[in-house]
């Protein structure tokens, strides 16, 4: 017996949907919940730790995340809020917003499902305060650092029309410039869609 493989896609750099500010989610309808479910499936199919609705072609303020907790971060200690977030993974966040950022910054290599095979260091605030709603409508609010804080900043950037490649130092930007241009050129002939079947 043959089983047809499911097809998943994400939009790639150069697609206008990725450089536009996404609209707030109004009511959390069944359509929004279905969209979140499809985004989860794509994120898993592409082995991502986060996906924003624009990457799925929907210009809405909705993200899904599945951030793994490293032994280092666990050993360094989590705040009760961070612990509750990690215990809730994977999770969908509706209208997520950064409300404050720490003065201290951290640098770490980032990648993105919409920017395949390109990795570069990004300097971001080490900790952020953020708020969002769960799909149930329950509001959540708290502070996160580490990979979780970084992932939230990266995904919320997508909702404002920015890719991590917009956040690079001039040196890092120069280093990936050729590769990025080739990615956009490739995207033009593939409708800015990256497809996988699983
Ligand atoms: Zn991304």
**What residues of the chain score a pLDDT lower than 70?**
none
Say how many Å lie between the CA of residue 151 and the centre of ligand 1. 9
Say how many Å lie between the CA of residue 50 and the centre of ligand 1. 7
Instruction: Tell whether pTM > 0.85.
Output: yes
> What pLDDT is attached to residue 4?
83
> What pLDDT is attached to residue 5?
85
Check if 177 is active-site: no
Q: Which of 73, 117, 155, 171 is catalytic?
A: 155
Secondary structure, 3-state, the chain = CCCCCCEEEEECCCCHHHHCCCECCCCCCHHHHHHHHHHHHHHHHCCCCEEEHHHHCCCECEEEECCCCCHHHHHHCCCHHHHHHHHCCCEEEEEEEEEEECCCEEEEEEEECCEEEEEEEEEEECEEEEEEECCCCCEEEEEEEHHHHHHHHHHHHHHCCCCHHHHCCHHHHHHHHHHHHHHHHHHHCCCCEEEEEC
- 137-188 per-position pLDDT tens digit: 999 999 999 999 999 999 999 999 999 999 999 999 999 999 999 999 999 9
Say how many Å lie between the CA of residue 1 and the centre of ligand 1. 37
> What pLDDT is attached to residue 75?
94
Say how many Å lie between the CA of residue 3 and the centre of ligand 1. 31
């Amino acid at each position: 017996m043959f089983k047809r493989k499911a097809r998943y896609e994400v939009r790639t750099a150069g697609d206008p949907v990725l450089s536009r500010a996404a609209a707030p989610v109004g009511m959390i309808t069944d359509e929004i919940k279905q969209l979140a479910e499809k985004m989860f499936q794509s994120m898993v199919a592409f082995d991502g730790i986060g996906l924003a609705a624009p990457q799925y072609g929907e210009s809405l303020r909705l993200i899904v995340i599945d951030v793994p907790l490293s032994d280092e971060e666990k050993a360094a200690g989590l705040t009760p809020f961070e612990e509750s977030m990690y215990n809730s993974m994977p999770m969908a966040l509706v209208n997520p917003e950064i409300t404050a950022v720490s003065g201290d910054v951290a640098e770490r290599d980032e990648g993105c499902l919409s920017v395949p095979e390109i990795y570069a260091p990004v300097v971001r605030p080490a900790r952020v305060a953020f708020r969002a709603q769960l799909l149930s409508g329950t509001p959540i609010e708290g502070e996160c650092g580490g990979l979780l804080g970084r992932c939230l900043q990266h995904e919320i950037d997508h909702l404002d029309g920015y890719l991590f490649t917009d956040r690079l130092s001039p040196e890092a930007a120069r280093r990936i410039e050729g590769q990025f241009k080739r990615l956009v050129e490739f995207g033009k002939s593939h409708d800015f869609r990256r497809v996988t079947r699983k």
